[in-house]
Amino acid sequence: MARAFADISCLISPRNVRSLALTIATVAIGAAFAPVPADAAASGAFLPHQALYELSLLKSRGSNAINSARGRILYNFSGSSCEGYTSEFRQVSELDSGEGKVTLSDLRSTSWEDGAGKSYRFKIDSRMNETDTSPVDGVAERTGDHITVKLKQPETKTFTLDGTTVFPTEQIQRIVAAAREGKSVLELTVYDGSDNGEKVYNTLSVIGQPIPGDKAIDSPDPSTQNDVMKTMKRWPVTVSYYDHDTKPNEGEQTPVYAMSFELYENGVSRALVLDYNDFVISGALGKFDVKDSKPCQTAEAPK
């Protein structure tokens, strides 16, 4: 998202703000969809919940330095593997680049993904400094060896993606599975409907050694105080996002952005850090409430 742009206004354009918000949503919401261990399945396979993130500037560097950043993200997640997963998401953020240049953004999005990762619907509306930007509205369907994306907005358009591409939920599910198998690296191509609805990312996930559930936490938050979470192990994860359509001229390709977080066994994420090259944003979990869930109905075995 945030490569080294010549002007800071490019860095915080409406498309880039959408990418920032959806990145956090992918981790915070998508991770909550990941399957939990079998011993936790009795209380519900997934974790519907509401969470509030407090955003702040962690570090600024490069020629397009940011003086300050603040904001909040509120999201609600509900659903199950049989009926699909629904998320409602809102981010309000303010970036100050100095000399009176302040950008205020307000983004709202809703998405639904079925439990098998075959269908993904999304709608994104945003406002930048009191000016509405073009909404993004579309659906992606997996059929055979390809994915068909149909956009309603910002313009009517249909295109296809390679069938190996995954949606946000499946991305996090595969990270959880890789972590449990002891893998340290995972490469995936991801589509989340960000930017103008046509952006595809190559991702590289690096998974660290598991952290025991009884290990002390330097910066506790509401999730670590939850009784369900206290005994669970977690993994430090860093996911780097690369532009799928950009080829490096020489050497290694620079990621568009990267994010780090701690991923619990039940799929919940905490301690977000988002690195956009010129600046780094921290996303601290301020509130965390587990919601009631309904397990999938299973057909009775014939007698």
pTM: 0.81
Q: 27 or 260, which is more confident?
A: 260
What's residue 46's pLDDT?
64
Q: Higher-confidence residue: 34 or 59?
A: 59
pLDDT for 267 beyond 80? no
Are the beta carbons of 89 and 108 closer than 8 angstroms? yes
The number of CA neighbours under 13 Å toward the Cβ of 203 is 30
**Six token digits for residue 147:** 């994915």
DSSP one-letter string for 108-144: EEEEEE-TTSSEEEEEEEEEETTEE---EEEEEEEET
Q: Which of 14-23, 73-82, 249-258, 283-292 has the lowest mean pLDDT?
A: 14-23
Share of the chain above pLDDT 70, in %: 80
Taking the CA atoms of residue 30, residue 31, residue 37 and residue 39 in that order, the dihedral angle to the nearest 10 degrees is -90
What pLDDT score was predicted for residue 25?
53
Give which of 103, 102, 106 is closest to 126, Cα–Cα: 106
pLDDT in tens, 207-233: 999 998 888 888 888 888 888 777 888
The rounded distance, in Å, linking the Cα atoms of 58 and 180 is 30
Give tens-digit pLDDT for 146-176: 999 999 999 999 999 999 999 987 888 899 8
- Cα 288 to Cα 77: distance, rounded to the nearest angstrom: 12
Q: Which of 47-61, 129-143, 241-255 has the lowest mean pLDDT?
A: 241-255
Residue 154 preceded by cis peptide, ω within 30: yes
**To 10 degrees, what angle do helices 168-180 and 14-28 make?**
40
* C-alpha triplet 30, 34, 39: angle, nearest 5°: 150
Give the end-to-end CA distance of the chain in Å, rounded to a whole number. 57
- Flag whether pLDDT at 63 surpasses 90: no
Measured distance CA(180)–CA(135) in Å, rounded: 38
pLDDT in tens, 64-114: 778 999 999 888 887 777 888 888 889 899 989 887 789 898 999 899 998
Highest mean pLDDT among 30-34, 92-96, 212-216, 236-240: 236-240
Q: Determine the pLDDT at residue 22.
A: 52
Integer Rg of the chain from CA:
19
Mean confidence (pLDDT) of the chain: 80
Residue 139, CB half-sphere, CA atoms under 13 Å: how many?
Answer: 6
**pLDDT of 70:** 93
Tell me: pLDDT of 36 over 80.
no
